Amino acid sequence: MRYSQMFIPTLKEAPADAQVPSHKLLVRAGFIRQLSAGIYSVLPLAQRSLNKIQAIIRDEMNAIGGQEFHLPALSPRELWEESGRWTGMGENMFRLKDRKGADLCLAMTHEEVFTAIARGEVRSYKQLPQFWYQIQTKFRDEPRPKSGLLRVRQFTMKDSYSFDFDWEGLDRSYEAHRHAYERIFERCGLTFVQVDADTGAMGGKASTEFMVKTDAGEDLIAFNVESGYAANVEKATSVIPAEEDETGPEKPEKFPTPGVRTIEDLEQPPFEVSAKRQIKTLVYMVNGNLVLALLRGDHELVEAKLAAAAGSTDHRPAHPEEIRSALGALPGSLGAVGVRGLKILADHALQGRTNMVTGANEDGFHLRGVVPGRDFTPEWVDLRLVKEGELDPKGQRPLQVAKALELGHIFKLGLRYSQTMGATVLGPDGKESPIVMGSYGIGVERILAASVELHHDDDGILWPMSIAPFQVALLPLQPNDPQVKETTEKLYQQLTAAGVEVLLDDRDERPGVKFKDADLIGLPVRVAVGKKALAQGKVEWKKRDSKEIELKSLDDLQREFAVLGALAGRGR
RNA sequence: CGGGGAGUGGCUCAGCCUGGUAGAGCACUUGGUUCGGGACCAAGGGGUCGCAGGUUCAAAUCCUGUCUCCCCGACCA
C-alpha cells in the first residue's frame, strides 16, 4: 500500500481530552476518531489490525470446534423478559421502540438469543456439546465512557457459548476455551494474567478474567507470583492476623458519643477505640430491601461481594432518610444490635470477636461490649476488600495489588439461562434435562488498545508483528532521486511478492517527517532507502523496538523478507 | 446519578475578569528556496465563538436556561 493513497491522518498533538497512552497514540497515529462519548470510528490502519486480531480469534475458536454465527444486534423485549434481564440489565441497555411501539433493545451480550436457538433446535444429548460463537457489535450505555477504546458504548466482541449435557462437559468446554484464550492473547503479543472473578450480571457459578496489567486498567487484581494465586479484588480473599479481644461486659453498654460521625472520630480521645475494635455498619438498598453490611472498622466494603452475598441484581447505598426511618438514627451511630426484620450480613473478620464498639441506633450514642453472634445474628459472608501485603488464602504469601484491564472473561453459566428459558435435551434415560451452558467473551478493540498500552514509547506505538497494520514501513528518503526511487520500487515489488505487507511512504516529504510518522504509526520494521547507504549498495533496516540501524545488502533483505513473509502468511 | 472542569477555523490554545464587531502556532492551498529526525520565506482559503433566550447603542466577553465533551466515584469486554 502506498502512503499517498491511504487515509492516515496523523497529528502532531494529542487531543486535549485524551488521558491514557493508547487513546492519545491511536488518535495521533490516525487509527481512530471519536464520534461521540464512547463511540469511535475505526480508520483504515486500525481496521487492518482489527482484522488480524479477528483472524487470530477465529483461528483459535475454530481450532476448538467453534462454529461461527452472526446474530442480530436488535432484539425483542419478550426474549429478555424470559431471562429476567430486560429489567436486570438496568440502564446499561440501549432500548428503542419500533414504529408499532414494540420494545426492542440493542443486545449487550447474546445468551438469550443463542439459548433461544438451542432450545428450538437441539433436542438430544447426542447433539451436544456445541460451541457457538460470533464476532459482533455490542452496545452498552455505559454510565461513564472513558480512556479512548478502553471503555466505550459500542464495541466488537467475540462471544461464544458452550452447550453441554452435564457439568463435566461444561468443565471440558470451559478448559477448552481457557486454552484457546491463552493462545489468542499470546499470539496477539500480550502479557496477561488469569484471575478468579465475580460473575456479576451474567450469573453463573464461576468465572475467570483474562487481564493485562496496566495503569490504564480500571480493575484491581490481587496476586502472588510464587503461589500462583490471582483474583480480582471483587473476589479476592486473604488471611489476616487474628485480633485478641479482652473480655467485655455481659451485655452491651450504651455510652454517649456526641458529635461522633466516623470511625476516625471514635479513635480520637476521649474514646480511643481502635478501628479494629469497631464494627462498621453500612446500609444498602438491595432489590428494594434494606440490608445491613457489617465490617471491621478499618476494612472496606466490596460492593460486588455484597451484591453476590445478597443475590442482588440492583443495589445502591441507602439514602439517609431511608436509614433513619428504618433504624432510628443517621449514619455515624448505626449498629446491628436490636435490629429486627432486616437482613444482616457480617464479614468473616468479625466472627469470634468480642467486646466490640458499634453505633446504638440513637444519634450521639454508641454501644460497647458488643459480641457479634450473641448480640445480633448475622449471616457470615465475605465482604472485605483485600489489601496489599495481606497473605493469600492458600500459600500464605503476601499479596500484591495492581491495576489491570479486562480483555476476556469466561463464565460457567450452568443452568442460569437454560432453566429460565426452558432449553432442555433428552438424556440417554429419556428424561429432559436443562442444557449446561458456558459463555465466553473477548473485547476485540480492547486487544488493540491493550497492545498499545503495553507496547509504546515517547515516539509512538510498537506493534507486535502479528497484529501490526503492515509489517514493514518502506521509506524512500529522497523520493525524487532516480536511484532511490528505482531501488524502493524494486524492494516494494519483492516484499509484496514475498507476502509481506508494506506501507510505502511515497510522499514527497522530508526524511524527518517520514521518520516521525513511521515511529508514531509503529510498524515493526523500517526499511529506509537513502542516497548515503545506497552508495555502498545497501539500505537501512531498523526494528521499531531497537535503536540500532543495520545496513543490509539487497540479498540480505531477500532472506529477511522470506522470514517476514512466512510470519505474515501464518497470521502471526 | 453525585462531585469537578471545558466548549473560540481540522488540531493545540489565547482573547472573556474590565462588552466596541475574532487572533496565534500546527494543518491546508499557491509560488519560491530547501532536503537524513516533524524546514524557511511570501501570498492565500477557512470560524453561526456549542445552542436558545435575556441585558445593552453594541455580547466570544455580562445574566438565565439548555446541550455536548472530559475528569473523579458506583458498572463491564
Q: Render pLDDT for A237-271 as a digit per residue (tens, 0 to 9).
A: 999 998 988 888 889 999 999 888 888 889 888 88
A571 pLDDT higher than 80: no
Question: Do A43-236+401-453 and A470-569 have matching folds?
Answer: no
Which carries the bigger pLDDT value, residue A331 or residue A540? A540
Domain A253-381 classification at class level: alpha beta
- Nucleotide nearest the Cα atom of A477 (by C1'): B36
Give the pLDDT of residue A118. Answer: 96
A201 pLDDT higher than 70: no
Q: Gap from A9 CA to B17 C1', in Å? A: 38
A570 pLDDT higher than 70: no
Tell me the domain boundaries of chain A.
Answer: 43-236+401-453, 253-381, 470-569
Long-range contacts of residues A182-186, Cβ cutoff 8 Å, at least 24 apart: A183/A60, A183/A63, A184/A56, A184/A57, A184/A60, A184/A408, A184/A442, A185/A210, A185/A407, A185/A408, A185/A447
Q: φ, ψ for residue A149 (rounded to 5)?
A: -80, 0
Residue A86, classed as helix, strand or coil, is: helix
Question: Which residue, counting CA atoms, is nearest to the C1' of nucleotide B39?
Answer: A510
Band of pLDDT at residue A202, cut at 50, 70 and 90 = low
Q: Domain spanning A43-236+401-453: which superfamily?
A: Bira Bifunctional Protein; Domain 2 (3.30.930.10)
Return the minimum-mean-pLDDT range out of A209-218, A262-271, A371-380, A530-539: A262-271
- Nucleotide nearest the Cα atom of A406 (by C1'): B77
Band of pLDDT at residue A426, cut at 50, 70 and 90 = very high
CA pair distance A518, A525, nearest whole angstrom: 10
Give the pLDDT of residue A329. Answer: 87
The protein footprint on chain B, as nucleotides within 7 A of a CB, is 1-2, 11-13, 25-27, 34-39, 68-77
Q: Gap from A154 CA to B48 C1', in Å? A: 31
* CB-based burial, A207-227: b 16+ in 10 Å, e otherwise: bbbbbbbbebbebbbbbbeeb
Give the count of beta carbons closer than 10 Å to the beta carbon of residue A377: 11
Q: Render pLDDT for A311-341 as a digit per residue (tens, 0 to 9).
A: 776 778 888 888 888 888 888 889 999 998 8
Give the pLDDT of residue A264. Answer: 86
Question: Which residue, counting CA atoms, is nearest to the C1' of nucleotide B26?
Answer: A12
Q: Render pLDDT for A124-167 as a digit per residue (tens, 0 to 9).
A: 999 999 999 999 999 999 988 999 999 999 999 999 999 999 99
What's A337's DSSP letter? T
- Nucleotide nearest the Cα atom of A16 (by C1'): B12
Q: Gap from A32 CA to B38 C1', in Å? A: 21
CA pair distance A267, A275, nearest whole angstrom: 6
Q: Gap from A519 CA to B28 C1', in Å? A: 23
Domain A470-569 classification at class level: alpha beta
ipTM exceeds 0.90, yes or no: yes
